[in-house]
């Protein structure tokens, strides 16, 4: 099973995913945006650069899934059309980690929003580049009004229900 967490930067995607891994099941592989970009040294945040990067992630997730490894992908993936295309190819379950821009800015420990608003970072999702919310996600996690633990439990239960249906 492949689960794709999408949402604004600092919405809680990776934090929720790590809670699922640590609190429920260590047999799930996490593919995280920051970690993967660091490993492959990809700093191309153009529309085409993002698309290629996400295609690579979806391919990796399909490969792991083919070998019966459940995968949680945690990526902003701001463009709906790209997510829709990748979902058709990989069959992932789209999970929207919903959080307001204001709350995401409050949570920004790296200062990325501040830099983006000062013009130091171009094409930053939520500031100088749009984020397109999913129209029909398989699951919505309200990370603004729910705790990390509540969101992780919801995600784990969703995954368990889907795996054993």
Walk me through the domains of the chain, giving residue ranges and CATH numbers: 2-100+131-160 (3.40.50.300)
* Tokens 């604004």 -> residue: 8
Name the pLDDT band for 157 (thresholds 50, 70, 90).
Answer: very high
pLDDT of 85 reads 93
- Residue-wise pLDDT for 61-97, tens only, equals 989 989 988 999 999 999 999 999 999 999 999 999 9
Check: CB of residue 2 under 8 Å from CB of residue 164.
no
pLDDT of 35 reads 67
Q: Is residue 44 scored above 60 in pLDDT? A: no
pTM for this structure? Answer: 0.89
R_g (Cα) of the chain, nearest Å: 15
Name the pLDDT band for 118 (thresholds 50, 70, 90).
Answer: very high
Mean pLDDT for the chain?
88
pLDDT of 57 reads 85
Within 10 angstroms of residue 126's Cβ, the number of other Cβ atoms is 21
pLDDT of 92 reads 95
Residues designated catalytic: 77
* Tokens 């969101």 -> residue: 151
């Amino acid at each position: 099973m492949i689960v794709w967490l999408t949402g604004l930067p600092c919405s809680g995607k990776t934090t929720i995913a790590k809670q699922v891994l640590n609190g429920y099941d260590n047999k799930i592989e996490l593919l995280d945006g920051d970690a993967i970009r660091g490993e492959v040294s990809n700093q191309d945040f153009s529309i085409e650069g993002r698309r290629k990067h996400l295609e690579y992630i979806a391919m990796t997730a399909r490969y792991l899934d083919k070998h019966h490894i459940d995968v949680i992908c945690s990526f902003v993936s701001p463009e709906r059309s790209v997510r829709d295309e990748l979902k058709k190819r990989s069959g992932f379950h789209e999970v929207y980690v919903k959080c307001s821009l204001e709350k995401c800015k409050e949570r920004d420990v790296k200062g990325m929003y501040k830099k983006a608003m000062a013009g130091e970072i171009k094409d930053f999702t939520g500031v100088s580049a749009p984020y397109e919310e999913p129209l029909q996600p398989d699951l919505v996690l309200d990370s603004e009004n729910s705790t990390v633990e509540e969101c992780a439990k919801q995600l784990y239960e969703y995954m368990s229900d889907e795996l054993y249906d």
